[in-house]
Amino acid sequence: MKKTALLIFCFITHLALGQAAKIAPLKEKVWSNPDFVKSFMGSFGVKSEVEPKIGRQEQVLFEDLSEMIEEERFEDVISELKDEFDEIDSHAAIDFTLANFLVQEGQMGESKPYYISAIRKFPDFLRAHKNLGLLEVQDGNFTSALTHLVKCVELGGAGGDLYGLIGYCYLNKELFASALDSYRMALIFEPDSKDWRLGKAQCLLSLERFDDAIALLSELIEMNQDQKDFWLFQANAYLANEKPEMAAANLSIVDKMNKADSNSKLLLGDIYVTMELPFLAVPQYLEVLNSEEKLSAQKALRMIEVLVRSTYWKEANEVAPQIKEKFGGLFTPKEANKFDSLRAEILFALNRKEEAVQALEELVERDPMNGRVLILLAGHYGTSFRENLDKNVQAADEFAAKAIFLYERATNLEDSSLKASALMKHGQILVRQKKYAQSLKMLKRAHALKPRDSLQKYIDQVERLADLTKS
C-alpha cells in the first residue's frame, strides 16, 4: 500500500515536470529551417501558378519584380509589393506573395495580415490557409491554426506536414482521439517521421494505451538511441503502466548519457524510494542539490518530503542539511515552516526529542494555526502524559493540559482530516483521565468527520466503560 501510494505521488508530482504531461515541441522540422518553410509554403507567386487567376496587371508586376528576386533584393521586392497592396483593391495573389516574402525575411508577425487579406479576397486560397495555419502553430494559436489547416484538407490539400500539424494542434488542445487519427494519416505520407511518431505516442499515452505507447517509443528509441526525450517519454509511460523498475532503467540510461536534468534525476530518486532503495535515491537527490542547475525551493522540499513520507529517516536526515544550507535563505515563510516541520519529524524519529520539541514550539510561535505542527507537538505532550501517568501525576497533568490546548486549537482548522485526528487524540487523553462523558463527545465528533470501523469500536468500548462507572 505504501509503495503504491508513493508511486502515485511521484508520478503526479513529476509528470508535469517530466516529458509526458507537456507536449514535445517539433524537432525535425523546426521553424528556422528554410528548407522546411519553403517546402511547406511552396514557391512564390511569380514562380508558380497561383490559385486565384491573375490578370495582365499582376503578370506585369511579377515580371518587373523577377529581376529583383533573382538578385535576392527581397527588401526591395517587399517595398514594391507594399506599394501595390490595398485592403480592398489589390489582388489576392499580391497579398499572398507579399506575405511569403515577409516570412522569408523573418517577419512572421507582419506577414499574417496579408495572408488574412488574401483569404478574405479569395476564401478558397489553399496555400494562404496553409501558410497562415503554419504561422498560427508557430505562435501557439492552435484553435486558429486548426481552422486554416482543416480548411486545406477540405480544399483537397494532403501530405504528412499538413496532417502532422493538425495532429499537433489537436494534441495541444487535448483532443487526443482526433490527434491520433491525424497522426495516423500523417504517417501514411511520412512513415519515418520522428515528429509524427512521437506525437502518436503522446496520444496513446494520454488515452492510457500504455502498452501501445511503450511499443511505439521502443521503435523511436531504436531509430535514435541518443535522443533523450524518447527515453523520458517511455519512462513516464512505464510509470503510468505501474512498471517503476522499467522507468528507472530508462532514466538511468539518460543519466549515463549525461543528458539528465534535475527533473529526471529527481524522478529517478523518487522511483528508487518507491522501490525501497533509498540508498540509491539519496545520491540522485544530493547530485541535484550540488549541481549548478537552478532548482526551485519547492522541488528541494519534495526530496525530503518523499523520504519522510516513506519513513526513511536516516536518508532524510542526510539530505536535510544540504537543503537547509542551499535554500534556507530562499524559502518563503510557508516553505520554511514546512521544512522545519519535516525536520522535526525526522528528529523525533531519530529520538532527538529535545531538538524536535524546540523546533515545533518555535514553529507554533511563527505559525499558530499550522495543523500538522499542532498535532505533532500535541502528540509529543500526549506521549509524555502517558509515560508519566503512573510516575508523576502532577507532570502528567501538565503534559495533558499542553496536549489538550494544542488539540483544541487544531479543532478550529478547516482541514477535516486534521480536525478529526485532533478530536480523536483529545478524546483518547480524556479516556485515560477517566473523563468518559467528555471523551465521547470528542470521539463522536471525530467519527462524524471521518467515519472508521476501528474508531466506532473504540467508542463502543468507552461507552461500556462509562456505563460501568455509573453503576
436-449 helix and 453-470 helix, angle to the nearest 10 degrees: 160
Q: Cα–Cα distance between 189 and 162 in angstroms, integer?
A: 10
Backbone angles phi, psi at 87, to 5 degrees: -55, -30
Q: Cα–Cα distance between 175 and 206 in angstroms, integer?
A: 10
Query: How high is the pLDDT of residue 2?
Result: 44
- Write down the residue that cell numbers 505501474 correspond to: 242
Burial per residue of 435-467, b for 16 or more beta-carbon CB atoms within 10 angstroms, e otherwise = ebeebbebbbbbbebeeeeebeebbeebeeebe
> Would you call 329 helix, strand, or coil by DSSP?
coil
Q: What is the CA radius of gyration of the chain?
A: 33
Which pLDDT tens digit goes with each residue over 152-164? 999 888 889 999 9
Q: In angstroms, what CA-CA distances link 394 with 97, 386, 399?
A: 93, 12, 9
By residue count, the chain amounts to 471
Query: How high is the pLDDT of residue 370?
Result: 87
CATH for the stretch 368-471: 1.25.40.10
- Write down the residue that cell numbers 534525476 correspond to: 265
Asked whether 421 and 403 are in contact (CB, 8 A), the reply is no
Q: 289: how many CB neighbours lie within 10 A of its CB?
A: 18
- Domain-by-domain residue ranges, the chain? 368-471
Query: How high is the pLDDT of residue 204?
Result: 94
pTM of the model: 0.67
Q: Cα–Cα distance between 165 and 433 in angstroms, integer?
A: 72
Whole-number percent of the chain with pLDDT over 90: 48
Which pLDDT tens digit goes with each residue over 224-265? 898 888 999 999 899 989 899 999 999 999 989 988 888 889
Query: How high is the pLDDT of residue 70?
Result: 72
Q: Cα–Cα distance between 26 and 198 in angstroms, integer?
A: 9
Q: In angstroms, what CA-CA distances link 174 with 76, 158, 230?
A: 43, 23, 20
Query: How high is the pLDDT of residue 6?
Result: 41
Low-confidence ranges of the chain (pLDDT < 50): 1-21, 30-31, 44-50
Which pLDDT tens digit goes with each residue over 266-308? 889 999 988 899 899 899 988 888 887 888 888 888 889 889 9
Q: Cα–Cα distance between 266 and 175 in angstroms, integer?
A: 30
